[in-house]
Amino acid sequence: MNKCIRISKEKPVPEDRKTYADAVFSLVGGKDYKCFVQTFGCQQNEADSERIAGMAAEMGYSITDKPDEADFIVVNTCAVREHAEKKALSLIGQYKHCKNNKKELVIAVCGCMPSQEHRADEIKHKYPYVDFTFGTSDLYMLPELLYRRLSGAKRTFIIPEDKPPVVEDIPVVRESNYRAWVSIMYGCNNFCSYCIVPYVRGRERSRHPDAIEAEVRQLIAEGYKDITLLGQNVNSYGRGCDFDCDFADLLRRLASIEGDYKLHFMTSHPKDATKKLIDVMAENEHIARQFHLPLQSGSSEILRKMNRGYTAEKYIEILDYIKEKLPDATLSTDIIVAFPGETEEDFEKTLELLEYVKYDMVFSFIYSPRNGTPAAKMENVVPDDVKADRMRRLLDLQTRIADSLNAECLGKTYRVICQGQSKNNAGMLEGRTEGNKILLFASETARDGDYVNVKVTKTHAYALYGEEVK
Ligand code: SAH
Ligand code: SF4
Ligand code: F3S
């Protein structure tokens, strides 16, 4: 049951109801009301949306994928780059017609965008049909906010506190029955100079290992095979807490649970990645052979301006250790192209590092200034044509690297999880290897969530193709 029992003076929980969720149920239950949740952004937001769906179900809504038939729309937003915010605002704009068609429709906006005061203010004034907004750490307040609004209270716009509580036991409706997200911590203390996340997700706080273990045990017992532990910097898990368990200890503890499953995690910050963590991975088959280690830039000078807390040399040291202990691991990274002051020489250092490491996957982003972050005020902004040119060169190089790495997979057999029909390749099923590579194959019998052995018969820079092996 939801622990959201905050008694407000304006609309207290009615005496015959135990919780706000229960109170909303008394208004909408049995009326065939539907909730539509739209998600932007990272896995953390996807995990939050599954909790929103869980609370909606508890309050008596069924979940729909059609905004037009919804009675309650929740838009869970991202603010990491300007493009993400623009997309969310444009979508919220489109929901005006839904409200025009159905006056009793409730529209809520949550996530990282309205956690910034200027955005909450903008929504309040420019989108008068949005009923309420709430921040990433106020998720648990959803039933209260909805109950208040349904019973006639004014529109509300909640900006999250800097040190919010860790709230357990929020109900969840998961999208998949074989892949699951498990948040192990919230917030971020790193303040990389370009990044909005610490401002919108508050200070770092970790869940208790007992609560995490209980959730993971239950998932494994229910047959989940792919479990991803989430945090903005999982390597600082447990820091400053009253229990003695760091991330490597937590992984060891979770990986000792019996069953047929793999644990993944993201994101690992290079400044806090330890040899102990890599040793624990090497020892345990339940931890996927995959390492996502965001580099951001190959230039130590740019890394200093980014406030990343490591040099290119320190990064290579930890990466070399990963390669030594986990030679079969899939490697991936994030790169920001054209950070303020990035010279041609700095950029070439990034390309050189990519050549040296040979990542299987690189997620690259053109730097986007974020209001309120130190980098937004930095000088020597890189001109647009140079940004585009650098991005193209980076993608060309990475395509070449990925192409030759994938070619080495030819003839090998991988155990993949079947994830259903491929959207881009008609008649093919899409599988994911343990290292998260896409492997397309044909099968008469495989269903979503099945493990399938597939032998690679053709390779590409961004996908592998193969045949099922019985
Ligand atoms: N906590 C994670 C990542 C969070 S955001 C980490 O530290 O790695 C995901 C990625 O978005 C970042 O790794 C970075 O590459 C990119 N990113 C963040 N802020 C950005 C900005 N202002 N402009 C462009 N890319 C950005
Ligand atoms: Fe942003 Fe840096 Fe925190 Fe990642 S570690 S969320 S990039 S501030
Ligand atoms: Fe976006 Fe917030 Fe995630 S800004 S990337 S949804 S933490």
Residue whose tokens read 């309040």: 124
* Residues 23-40: tens digit of each pLDDT: 999 999 889 999 999 999
What is the average pLDDT across 208-212? 97
Q: Which of 43, 44, 191 has most ligand 3 atoms within 8 Å of CB, for mutation?
A: 44
Does residue 168 fall inside a structural domain? no
Asked if residue 424 lies in contact with residue 440, where contact means CB atoms within 8 angstroms, the answer is no
Residue whose Cα lies nearest atom 4 of ligand 2: it is: 232
* Residues 233-288: tens digit of each pLDDT: 999 999 999 999 999 999 999 999 999 999 999 999 999 999 999 999 999 999 99
Does residue 125 fall inside a structural domain? yes
Q: Are residues 147 and 211 in the same domain?
A: no
Reply yes or no on whether the pLDDT at 123 is more than 80.
Answer: yes
Residue whose Cα lies nearest atom 3 of ligand 3: it is: 42
Does residue 91 fall inside a structural domain? yes
State the Cα angle at 305 between 304 and 307, rounded to 5°.
Answer: 65
294 CA: nearest ligand 1 atom = 8
Other beta carbons less than 10 A from residue 96's beta carbon? 14
CA distance 410 to 406: 7
Ligand in nearest proximity to the CA of 336 = 1
Round to the nearest angstrom and report the end-to-end CA distance of the chain: 44
Q: Are residues 146 and 206 in the same domain?
A: no
pLDDT at 6 (0 to 100): 36
Q: Are residues 119 and 33 in the same domain?
A: yes
pLDDT at 38 (0 to 100): 97
- Ligand 1 midpoint to CA 399 (Å): 21
Q: Which of 80, 82, 236 has most ligand 1 atoms within 8 Å of CB, for mutation?
A: 80
Q: Are residues 145 and 193 in the same domain?
A: no
* Residues 133-174: tens digit of each pLDDT: 999 989 999 999 999 999 998 999 998 877 788 999 899 999
Reply yes or no on whether the pLDDT at 43 is more than 70.
Answer: yes
Q: Are residues 217 and 244 in the same domain?
A: yes
Residue whose Cα lies nearest atom 11 of ligand 1: it is: 80
Confidence of residue 328 (pLDDT cuts 50, 70, 90): very high
Reply yes or no on whether the pLDDT at 10 is more than 70.
Answer: no
9-18, 143-152, 207-216: the lowest-pLDDT one? 9-18
189 CA: nearest ligand 2 atom = 3
Gyration radius of the chain over CA positions: 23
Does residue 429 fall inside a structural domain? yes
**CATH code of the domain in which 33 resides:** 3.40.50.12160
CA distance 176 to 180: 7
3-state secondary structure the chain: CCCCCCCCCCCCCCCCCCCHHHHHHHHHCCCCCEEEEEECCCHHHHHHHHHHHHHHHHCCCEECCCHHHCCEEEEEECCCCHHHHHHHHHHHHHCHHHHHHCCCCEEEEEECCCCCHHHHHHHHHHCCCCCEEECHHHHHHHHHHHHHHHCCCCCEECCCCCCCCCCCCCCCCCCCCCEEEEECEECCCCCCCCCCHHHHHCCCEECCHHHHHHHHHHHHHCCCCEEEEECCCHHHCCCCCCCCCCHHHHHHHHHCCCCCCEEEEECCCHHHCCHHHHHHHHHCCCECCEEECCCECCCHHHHHHCCCCCCHHHHHHHHHHHHHHCCCCEEEEEEEECCCCCCHHHHHHHHHHHHHHCCCEEEEEECCCCCCCHHHHCCCCCCHHHHHHHHHHHHHHHHHHHHHHHHCCCCCEEEEEEEEECCCCCCCEEEECCCCCEEEEECCCCCCCCEEEEEEEEECCCCEEEEECC
Q: Are residues 30 and 146 in the same domain?
A: yes
Q: Is 195 in the pocket of ligand 1 (CB under 6 A)?
A: yes
* Residues 394-450: tens digit of each pLDDT: 999 999 999 999 999 999 999 999 999 998 888 899 999 999 999 999 998 999 999
Q: Are residues 270 and 147 in the same domain?
A: no
CA distance 311 to 442: 45
5-14, 69-78, 111-120, 169-178: the lowest-pLDDT one? 5-14
201 CA: nearest ligand 3 atom = 7
- Ligand 2 midpoint to CA 114 (Å): 19
Q: Are residues 118 and 39 in the same domain?
A: yes
Orientation of helix 20-28 relative to helix 43-58, angle to 10°: 60
CA distance 157 to 332: 38
**CATH code of the domain in which 222 resides:** 3.30.750.210
Q: Are residues 150 and 196 in the same domain?
A: no
Asked if residue 454 lies in contact with residue 439, where contact means CB atoms within 8 angstroms, the answer is yes
- What is the total count of domains within the chain? 3
Reply yes or no on whether the pLDDT at 321 is more than 60.
Answer: yes
- Ligand 3 midpoint to CA 426 (Å): 32
Does residue 275 fall inside a structural domain? yes
191 CA: nearest ligand 2 atom = 8
Q: Are residues 92 and 146 in the same domain?
A: yes
CA distance 326 to 434: 13
pLDDT at 5 (0 to 100): 31
Task: Give the binding-site residues of ligand 2, using a 6 Å CB cut-off.
Answer: 188, 190-192, 195, 197-198, 232-233, 269
Q: Are residues 25 and 152 in the same domain?
A: yes
Confidence of residue 105 (pLDDT cuts 50, 70, 90): very high
Ligand in nearest proximity to the CA of 365 = 1
Residue whose Cα lies nearest atom 1 of ligand 3: it is: 78
| Domain encompassing residue 429 | 413-468
